[in-house]
Amino acid sequence: MSAVMEHGGGPVQRLAHPARAISLYDLFRKQPAEYLCPGRSLFVEGDDAAHVFEVLDGALRVFKSVSDGRRVITGFMYPGDIVGVSLGKHYLGSVEAVCGSTVRRLPRSRMDAAVDADKRIRPMVFSLVADEMAAAQRQMILLSCKNSEERLCSFLLEYLNRSAFPGERFPCLNLPMCRQDIADYLGLTIETVSRAITKLIDKGVLQIENAAVRQTITIAKPLLLAQIAGEVAPSMPTAEDAG
């Protein structure tokens, strides 16, 4: 049995953003941690973009509300992510805590001042924005081209890659978000998400330890998962032995 991976379980290494002598993260270092209860809103779409936030722990959902009451989740944020770098005067989306989470808050003016003062900060901010743009485009491809099974696999793979130990042999994910969140992220209904999970369990790609605790999912065939997600060329490894 492999170790359970969860973002909410404690401080996570920031492999993608190592803390150098001068880094964007240094700006947050002195800021106090703030705790957010599950469901608590950090800011709302259209608000004055007064702060940026560093996620320390937990998980947040970024979403836009549509006129008919529906909701489109444009992304999830995990420890190490910086939230609210919209580059505009107002926030583009709303952000809520998916589960109990902690963040640090930095006034936007402070970040702007740092960008002005230190040329080394600027490429980091640009890189954050570029990453967000790339993620948005990946999401457009997902919504344009992928079926429900592929969407779910893409989501799980993305979550896996942002978890602590993506290389684990049989990684076990602890999903903090509910099925409705996943559905709103993948452009599906909750029922279709549920059926996609069942189908992947039937195929042996996923396993659920305890039928009752359904947010804990073991990936029994990671390679096959990646293959279905469409992020791997469907070449040598056949469906039979993949995973």
Q: Please give the residues from 108 up to 137 whose contact with its own copies meets the rule CB under 8 A.
A: 116, 119, 126-127, 129-130, 132-134, 136-137
Binding footprint of DNA, residue count (CB under 7 A):
21
Residue placing its CB nearer to DNA in the complex, 54 or 150: 150
Quick one: which of 4, 72, 208, 220 contacts its own copies (CB under 8 A)? Answer: 72
Regarding 212 and contact with DNA (CB under 7 A), the answer is yes
Cβ neighbors of 164 (< 8 A, separation 6 or more) are 5, 7, 12, 13
Apex CA 106: angle with CA 54 and CA 155, to 5°? 25
144 touches its own copies (CB under 8 A): yes
By CB under 8 A, which span of 10-18, 25-33, 140-148, 217-225 interacts with its own copies? 140-148
When binding is defined by CB under 7 A, the residue of 174, 189, 216, 218 that contacts DNA is 189
Contacts for 193 with CB less than 8 Å, ≥ 6 apart: 148, 152, 179, 182, 183, 186
- What is residue 74's three-state secondary structure? strand
Residue 192, CA atoms < 13 Å, CB-side half-sphere? 15
Partner from its own copies, DNA, none contacting 189, C-beta within 5 to 8 A by type: DNA
Least distance in angstroms from the C-beta of 183 to its own copies:
10
Q: x/- string (CB under 8 A) for its own copies, residues 17-56?
A: ----------------------------------------
> What is the tally of helices (H) and strands (E) in the chain?
7, 12
Q: Which of its own copies, DNA, none does residue 148 bind (CB under 5 to 8 Å by kind)?
A: DNA
Quick one: which of 149, 184, 224, 226 contacts DNA (CB under 7 A)? 149
What is the C-alpha separation between 130 and 216, in angstroms, rounded?
32
CA separation (Å) from 143 to 40, 57, 62, 162, 197? Answer: 28, 28, 17, 21, 18
State the number of binding residues for its own copies (CB under 8 A).
Answer: 32
CB of 38 to DNA, least distance (A): 9
Lookup: tokens for 16:
């993608």
**Rounded to an integer, what distance in angstroms lies between the CA atom of residue 5 and that of residue 160?**
9
CB of 86 to DNA, least distance (A): 28
Is 185 within 8 Å of 73 (Cβ atoms)? Answer: yes
Q: What is the distance between the alpha carbons of residues 124 and 105, in angstroms, rounded to a whole number? A: 18
- Judged by beta carbon, residue 177 or residue 224, the one nearer DNA is 177
Q: What is the binding site for its own copies (CB under 8 A)?
A: 64, 66-68, 70, 72, 74, 86-88, 92-93, 116, 119, 126-127, 129-130, 132-134, 136-137, 139-141, 143-145, 187, 230, 233
